Amino acid sequence: EAKRRDRPQTVRYQAELDRRVQGRLQMVARLHEAIEREEFELHFQPQYFASGREPVGLEALVRWRHPERGLVPPGEFIPVCEDSGLIVPLGRWVLREAARHHRLLVEAGWQGLTIAVNVSAIQFRSGELEADVGALVQEFSLPPGVLELELTESIVMDDPEAAIAVLERLRQFGVMLSIDDFGTGYSSMAYLHRLPVDKLKIDRSFIADVEEDSHNAAICESVLSLARSFGLKVIAEGVETRAQMDWLRQRGCDEVQGFLLARPMPFADVLRHLGHPPR
């Protein structure tokens, strides 16, 4: 009796599972093509000194220009790229595009700006990042301090020693390193004093209502004091209000990024947004 009732449900469950696996496989195949056809594009979000007036650099954020669906945000395809290994060729493309746009920035008179690129932990552990970055720095003659890699705490997870060695070699190329979404992931606290990084990026979940939410304020204050004692810079992401920006500046946060200052935008809009370069 119970069995007879279960059957159709099992069948339905199996069908649902098949459909999902199929969908996933199709997406992987489609992403493969998208990389070959270069259907991706970079948008850039300006990062500012804490005063909010002078730009420090740009964060490159990838989007998929899907022929039918339009602009697809990274949250919808980066995880699939990570699971399938496609993040390695995609990440390589992103790095190259970032370097190419740095050249365009210099041509427009903005030589001082940094370009930050997000690097997935899978890409970091692929063993190819170092060689890719080294080749890029050479090909584009990137001056030290221009290219910044945004990494997550999870890179140190399974083999901290190996990760530290890679970070050290990356820095020898003149690459700056920051820890993205700091405070949300696996805690690298125990390794922080040994991690050769330049900057901590406070996750935007801690910036929300920071001037009123005492829990978030405490977290931000500890990140700021941690950074101070390790000689690291701090950037806050997701700054949406003047009150948040003032709060952060008053407590020694070095840089800010968020919708208050600028949204991610195509490169042409960045140049318009920045206005006249400094002379």
258 binds, among ligand C2E, Mg ion, none (CB under 5 to 8 A by kind): ligand C2E
216 binds, among Mg ion, ligand C2E, none (CB under 5 to 8 A by kind): none
Q: Which residues of 62-80 are buried (b: 16+ CB within 10 A; e: fewer)?
A: bbbeeeeeeebebeebbee
Instruction: Say whether residue 153 binds Mg ion (CB under 5 A).
Output: no
89 binds, among ligand C2E, Mg ion, none (CB under 5 to 8 A by kind): none
Choices 82-90, 105-113, 210-218, 237-245; region in contact with Mg ion by CB under 5 A? 237-245
3-state helix, strand, coil in the chain (%, to 5): 50, 20, 30
**Among residues 95, 236, 248, which one has the least CA distance to residue 178?**
236
Q: Hey, what are 81's tokens?
A: 């790229």
Point out the residue whose Cβ comes nearest to ligand C2E: 258
**Among residues 200, 225, 188, 210, which one has the least CA distance to residue 148?**
200
Length of the chain: 279
Q: Hey, what are 45's tokens?
A: 């979000």
> CA 119 to CA 212: how far, in whole Å?
33
Instruction: Say whether residue 259 binds ligand C2E (CB under 6 A).
Output: yes
99 binds, among Mg ion, ligand C2E, none (CB under 5 to 8 A by kind): none
105, 274 Cβ separation under 8 angstroms: no
Largest CA distance in the chain: 83
Give, as ranges, the residues between 154 and 213 that touch ligand C2E (CB under 6 A): 180-181, 204
Instruction: Give least dist CB 94 to Mg ion, A.
Output: 12
Instruction: Say whether residue 180 binds Mg ion (CB under 5 A).
Output: yes
Instruction: Give least dist CB 91 to ligand C2E, A.
Output: 6
130 binds, among ligand C2E, Mg ion, none (CB under 5 to 8 A by kind): none
Interface with Mg ion by CB under 5 A: which residues? Answer: 118, 150, 180-181, 237
Interface with ligand C2E by CB under 6 A: which residues? Answer: 45, 61-62, 73-75, 78, 91, 94, 118-120, 150, 180-181, 204, 237-240, 258-259, 264
